[in-house]
Amino acid sequence: MEPSYLKLYRCGELKRRAEAIEACLASCDICPRECHVNRLENEQGFCHSGYLPIVSAVCDHHGEEPAISGSRGTGAIFFGNCNMRCVYCQNYQISQDPNHQSSKEIDFHSLAQRMIYLQDDLGCHNISFISPAHFVPQLVRAVLEAVPMGLKVPIVYNTNAYDSVASLRALDGVVDVYLPDLRYASDTWAARLSHTADYVTRARQAILEMHRQVGDKLILDDSGLAQRGLIVRHLILPNGLADSRDSLTWLVKEVSPRVTVSIMSQYYSTYLAPGIPQLRRKISTSEYHEVLKLVDKLGLENGWIQEIDAAENYLPHFDLDGHPFPVEQTKV
């Protein structure tokens, strides 16, 4: 199955898309923050990012869902900075320390070269852009540069789901596999824990748009690798802060009971979370099994569930070499 961005490239649409969305950086409304700073002139808004992409790590990552990582890994491109401020962020070294990222800017040609390195030299099954919501124009430009170099693997968009619907529409046909989070069902908790007071509406709108583009059937090749589709991640938080019942019920009723899900148990107390009483501990066994029962009750049959001890196996530290440790996952 040929990635759809190749067709867009051949007809000139990919170039048109890249130019159109890059122009939006002049008064940036790329993500829901809509800071309206001129990033073409390196003005910075909430995400502390200017014109050039900030790339914190490039690696063959083996810790994603089996349909993404496969046997040779996903070609992970970790963007620096973020448009959210999660107090429990496991990647806080690269997402919430703009000073740490000052030397991580690269030009589009260099980013395209890294994509080809992941594809050809490391043999990765796909290219996965991680935390891309504030770098959508840069992502499109890099794909445009990489196609004539030989890029031919699927593009994965791995996001917190705090995305602009308009930006997602610009990615229609560019992204093959969407991998969004579904973090909260309460804007009160989203504001308190992620400084994102409109997360629920924005994330649900974003997931609906992703579903409109790629449907609810995850298309796999003969090796079980995702070629096109949607995988929705849901991180279980302690003390019911994610409101899994509300979020997963919405997913079934408003998106599809056939949608592929990834239920994640890897939460552990890090960054600012140890100072917040509700977030000081890992999820309990009873909290874990409560969500598993909910998945079964709702009839969600497609996807993966992390093992209860996933938090013990996933301790990324980007100050070392940028390679997160793998996570064990079980088929739903």
**Residue 173 is assigned to a structural domain of this protein:** yes
Residue-number span of the structural domain to which 232 is assigned: 4-46+56-327
Q: What does the H/E/C string look like for 101-124?
A: HCCCECCHHHHHHHHHHHHHHCCC
- The Cα–Cα gap between 170 and 101 comes to 27
What tokens does 80 get?
């620096």
Is 167 inside a domain boundary?
A: yes
Residue 332 maps to a domain: no
pLDDT number for residue 1: 85
Other Cβ atoms less than 10 A from the Cβ of 249: the count is: 15
Residues (pLDDT < 50) of the chain are: 320-328, 330-332
- The residue whose two tokens read 């013990």 is 312
* Count of the separate structural domains present in the chain: 1
Both tokens of 91, joined, read 């990647």
DSSP state of 33: T
Which ranges of 24-132 would DSSP assign to H, the alpha helix? 66-69, 92-95, 108-116
CATH number at residue 305: 3.20.20.70
126 touches 152 (CB < 8 A): no
Asked if residue 51 belongs to a domain, the reply is: no
pLDDT of res. 100? 60
What is the model's pLDDT at position 322?
45
Q: How many CA atoms lie within 13 A of 193 on its CB side?
A: 24
Examine residue 292 and state whether it is found in any structural domain, yes or no.
yes
Residue 88 lies in a domain: yes
Using DSSP's 3-state secondary structure scheme, residue 129 falls into strand
Token pair 């190749």 is found at 6
